Amino acid sequence: MGAAVELLDSTALKLPADTHTEAAGATSAIGLALGYADAGGLPFDFLNPKRPAVPRDLRRIKILASLAATAALFMLVAGICTWLVGKRQAVLDAVTAEAVAAEKNRPAYRKVISQAAVVNEWVGGERDWLLHYAHLTAVLPRSEEIFLTSFAVSGPGALRLGVRAKSGEILAKVEKQLRAAGYEVKPLAITPGTDKNGYEFQSTVELAVPHKLKVDLSKVRPPARPADDASLDPPRRKGGG
């Protein structure tokens, strides 16, 4: 068959001395294993002994091994990337849900921010406008005659009040009482109108607060609350409970 034949010396296998006899009986299997692991390969194919053995292409084997290792590395990297992307996607989904919830509450947030800005401006200003607000509620007539619809700081040392009253005479009395309390009051422009509760006269009162005006709440007494005033009562539950 044109194939070289070599006799395997079992003593060259560095086996224990008492196993040489058994090793000699397994020479065929041992030789086949050694030949398969040899870089040159087996001299012929035992499955097809009449077909010449194909010499091994070590370069091709190395290329295939490199490709297999590269593919395995690529799959490992792809798996890690997929895991990282999934983890980041979970974080993104959570943040998106928070953003959607915050977007629904945007009007409430804006209102709170605006109110906080007004309060901070009042606190940081030269005047204690909350003190003046308390003072004005004590100076103005009873709520059965007049009530405030708005209260705003219109400039340095200036206030603008929106009021509704049951008569023009009450508005004229308001102007006198404010002047007596130390405020500088611009002439009132009274506008008649209709109101289901009888407050058919409205006006905008513009006040200037002199620097010399000192407010002492202990010296003023606010009007008594109406008997049917429920503004400070705890809110009732829906359903009458």
In whole angstroms, what is the distance from residue 21 CA to residue 36 CA? 23
| 155 bridge partner residues | 158
Q: What are 192-212's pLDDT values in tens digits?
A: 888 888 888 888 888 888 888
Return the closest-CA partner of residue 157 out of 138, 183, 180.
183
Quick one: pLDDT at residue 209?
A: 86
Inter-residue contact 239 to 154 (CB < 8 Å) = no
List where CATH 3.30.1360.100 sits in the chain.
127-219
- State the maximum Cα–Cα separation within the chain, in Å, rounded to a whole number: 136
Mean pLDDT, residues 214-224: 81
The answer, yes or no, to whether residue 66 has pLDDT greater than 80, is yes
Mean pLDDT, residues 219-237: 72
Residue type, 219: K
- Mean of pLDDT over the chain: 78
Hey, what are 238's tokens? 């829906």
Quick one: pLDDT at residue 220?
A: 81
Q: Of 11-15, 39-43, 57-61, 96-100, where does mean pLDDT reach its minimum?
A: 39-43
Q: What are 8-21's pLDDT values in tens digits?
A: 666 666 667 676 66
Quick one: pLDDT at residue 126?
A: 62
Quick one: pLDDT at residue 168?
A: 86
Return the CATH superfamily for domain 127-219. General secretion pathway protein M, EpsM (3.30.1360.100)
Quick one: pLDDT at residue 31?
A: 63
Q: pTM value?
A: 0.44
Mean pLDDT, residues 16-44: 64
Q: What value does the CA radius of gyration of the chain take, rounded to a whole number of Å?
A: 50
Match 């945007």 to its residue by tokens: 106
Residue type, 138: A
**Quick one: CA dihedral 8, 14, 20, 23, positive or negative?**
negative
Residue 1 CA, distance from chain mean position: 81
Quick one: pLDDT at residue 120?
A: 76
Inter-residue contact 166 to 200 (CB < 8 Å) = yes
Match 């002047």 to its residue by tokens: 179
In whole angstroms, what is the distance from residue 111 CA to residue 186 CA? 31
Q: What are 133-171's pLDDT values in tens digits?
A: 888 888 888 888 888 888 888 777 788 889 889 888 888
Inter-residue contact 163 to 137 (CB < 8 Å) = no
